Amino acid sequence: MDRCTTDNFQSIVAFFAERKVRLVAVSKTQANNRILALYHQGQRDFGENRVDELVLKQAQLPEDIQWHFVGHLQSKKVKHIAPFVSMIQSVDSVKLLQKINDQAEKNNRIISVLLQVKIASEKNKYGFEVNDLRKFFKNKPDKHYKHIRLRGLMGMATLTDDEGQIQKEFAKLCALFEELKMTPKLKDFDILSMGMSGDYHLALAQGANMVRLGSLLFQD
Ligand SMILES: *Cc1c(COP(=O)(O)O)cnc(C)c1O
């Protein structure tokens, strides 16, 4: 590791620990030795965005890593990660949620999920529309998905230099999170995953309690 040295990584860890924010190291495209370098410094939450890559890495790396899936997930591929994945952060449809529930049941597991919300202005970004999500929560989700633990929301802001816009998008997601949290009988709905290497400072200011950092941790 060149720039992300032990000292540097420990100060990043301390920064988020002080703020009670959970740090997910997004290790997509990174070689196993670089993942292990963070693992040996205590990091356990790692995120991947491709099923094939995640399955390979899970088989080769320590068992106690908590793998987060953060990319677009096709329903037909859920079965490959259902046996071991710790949290699926990118659930963007009811169909996918149902599939995860079914596969979790097959594996005799309960899988934690975050629902991805479309907050960015870009057309190509995935996620639930806000109003569809409101409808979903009116439908007593706690009753329908016995093998899913609905832990919270995830969102990605627009890729832009306009900090005001990013701030607004994160604020919107936080307000929605607070609103949905009030849904009766919803337990454990307590994670707001927003912020990446370029915008985590804005996400923290808007109430994120989980960040997903890639390039900042794995600098060349
Ligand atoms: C790649 C990725 C990240 C990390 O991005 P960086 O800018 O490298 O920190 C976070 N979240 C998701 C969903 C990603 O795909």
Give the pTM.
0.96
- CA distances (Å), origin 182, targets 90, 148, 177, 205: 22, 19, 9, 22
The model's pLDDT over 121-144, given as tens digits with 9 standing for 90+, comes to 988 779 999 999 999 999 877 788
Could you read off the pLDDT of 90-120 as tens digits, one per residue? 999 999 999 999 999 999 999 999 999 999 9
**Residue-wise pLDDT tens digits, 25-74:** 999 999 999 999 999 999 999 999 999 999 999 999 999 999 999 999 99
Pocket test for ligand 1, best of 24, 212, 215, 218 (most atoms within 8 A of CB): 212
With bands split at pLDDT 50, 70 and 90, how would you rate the model's confidence at 2?
very low
DSSP string of 53-84, one letter each residue:
HHHHHHHHS-TT-EEEE-S---GGGHHHHTTT
6, pLDDT greater than 70: no
Q: Is any atom of ligand 1 closer than 6 Å to the C-beta of 208?
A: no
Asked whether 28 and 48 are in contact (CB, 8 A), the reply is: yes
CA dist., res. 220 & res. 218, Å (int): 6
212 lines ligand 1 (CB under 6 A): yes
DSSP 3-state of 177: helix
Cα(194) to centroid(ligand 1), Å: 10
What whole-number percentage of the chain has pLDDT above 70? 96
Q: Which of 210, 156, 152, 202 is nearest to 22 (CA)?
A: 210
Residue 49 CA, ligand 1 centroid: distance in Å: 9
Distance 211 CA to ligand 1 centre (A): 9
Q: Using the mean position of ligand 1's atoms as its centre, give its distance from the Cα of residue 116 in Å.
A: 14
Judge residue 197's burial from the number of C-beta atoms within 10 Å of its C-beta, 0-12 exposed, 13-18 middle, 19 or more buried. Answer: middle
Phi-psi region of 158 (alpha: psi -120 to 50; beta: other; left: phi over 0): beta
Distance separating alpha carbons of residues 157 and 208, to the nearest angstrom: 13
